[in-house]
A and B are shown apart, each in its own frame.
Chain A
Amino acid sequence: QKEVEQDPGPLSVPEGAIVSLNCTYSNSAFQYFMWYRQYSRKGPELLMYTYSSGNKEDGRFTAQVDKSSKYISLFIRDSQPSDSATYLCAMSRSSASKIIFGSGTRLSIRP
């Protein structure tokens, strides 16, 4: 079993829709949760960062962590064509030496 599971998609939604992207994980020691966005032919860039459980909102983006279910989500409101990218979840634990990435979900927003 992989430490982090993420549906690869692709996911295609119309402009203006609410998008929900999800990851599950198996290691209960994970405490730091991140979402990276990767545009085509570019390196990933950090989009959202959350420590432990709870919600974090930044503009149209909301990151949610449910440690009891080992489940994290990224919500995108009022999706735009410019949101079309691959979204990778990532997580780590205290005293860790590396970040563990999900396989990424390819998202396409149709105008």
Chain B
Amino acid sequence: NAGVTQTPKFRILKIGQSMTLQCAQDMNHNYMYWYRQDPGMGLKLIYYSVGAGITDKGEVPNGYNVSRSTTEDFPLRLELAAPSQTSVYFCASSYDPNTEAFFGQGTRLTVV
């Protein structure tokens, strides 16, 4: 049972570079989320999606973009990476927001 799979696990970016964090789930969940977690801090919602073709901003969307062309995939795009985007990024999915959210293992991103 794969659950939620995130790639890559680690990445170092230079300031100004771009990259896409991949997230895939095999549970046929409509709801998917991207969070960032800074050291010693909780989860901050970046973007979320309630189904294929539908996305919305969370509390910290600046500097990021998302797309949801299929139920399974929810990639997060970083344009013009900045040191402030150094964080651990978690993707999650759920059947609906009132049920258990399943998280991936995270992507550790460092921007230098």
Contact = CB atoms under 8 A, between A and B. Distances in A.
A18 interface: no
Contact of B42 (A46, A92, A98, A101): A101
B103 A45 contact: yes
A98 B43 contact: no
A52 to B, nearest CB: 11
Interface residues of A, number: 25
Contacts of B41: 8, 103-104
Instruction: Give the interface SS of chain A, mostly helix, strand, loop or mixed.
Output: loop
Interface string A32-60: 10100000011111100100000000000
A63 interface: no
- Chain B CB within 10 A, most for which of A90, A97, A99, A103: A99
Nearest to B44: A101
Given A43-B105, A97-B50, A103 B100 contact: no
Contacts of A103: 41-42
A29 to B, nearest CB: 12
Contacts of A43: 4, 90, 92, 103-106
Contacts, number: 59
A101 B45 CA distance: 9
Contacts of B58: 98
Given A32-B98, A45-B103, A97 B56 contact: yes
A46 B101 contact: yes
Interface of B: 4, 31, 33, 35, 40-43, 45, 48, 50, 56, 58, 90, 92, 94, 97-98, 100-101, 103-106
Given A92-B97, A103-B42, 4 more contacts: A32-B97, A97-B56, A99-B97, A101-B43
Interface of A: 6, 8, 31-32, 34, 41-46, 49, 88, 90, 92, 94, 96-99, 101-104, 106
